[in-house]
Amino acid sequence: MALTSSMNWGINLLISLTFLTVTELIGLSWVCFIYTIMSLASLAFVIMFIPETKGCSLEQISMELAKQRFVRTPLCGVSQRREKLVPVELAKREKEQLY
């Protein structure tokens, strides 16, 4: 959540600082077109890659994501074993729920 908020604030700052300059250089209609393309690209990313978590607790989300054998971290592109990413307590809870 902290990374997402930081990215949001950073992108908002970047747009605020460059909007008037870019508008003078290429025109308002092109700036709006570029922002539209970026918004559609982000919408496609969310639809394709972000799982639905409505009504789920954080523990349930963690367990669902941990069921994958390997998790690919998008920041560094390094695969990590599931055991390193899932706390031991969550694994115990999953076993208790099965019984």
| Token pair for 46 | 């969310």
**pTM, rounded to two decimals:** 0.53
Q: Residue 41 belongs to what domain range?
A: 1-50
Assess if residue 23 is contained within a domain.
yes
Per-residue model confidence as pLDDT tens digits over 7-66:
999 999 999 999 999 999 999 999 999 999 999 999 999 888 877 778 888 888 787 777
Assess if residue 63 is contained within a domain.
no
Give strand ranges (E) for the chain: 70-72, 79-81
Q: Is the pLDDT reported for residue 83 higher than 60?
A: no
Assess if residue 60 is contained within a domain.
no
Count of structural domains within the chain? 1
Report strand pairing: 70-72 vs 79-81. Answer: antiparallel
Q: What is the pLDDT of residue 90?
A: 61
pLDDT, greater one: 93 or 53: 53
Q: Is the pLDDT reported for residue 99 higher than 60?
A: no
3-class SS at 71?
strand
pLDDT, greater one: 75 or 37: 37
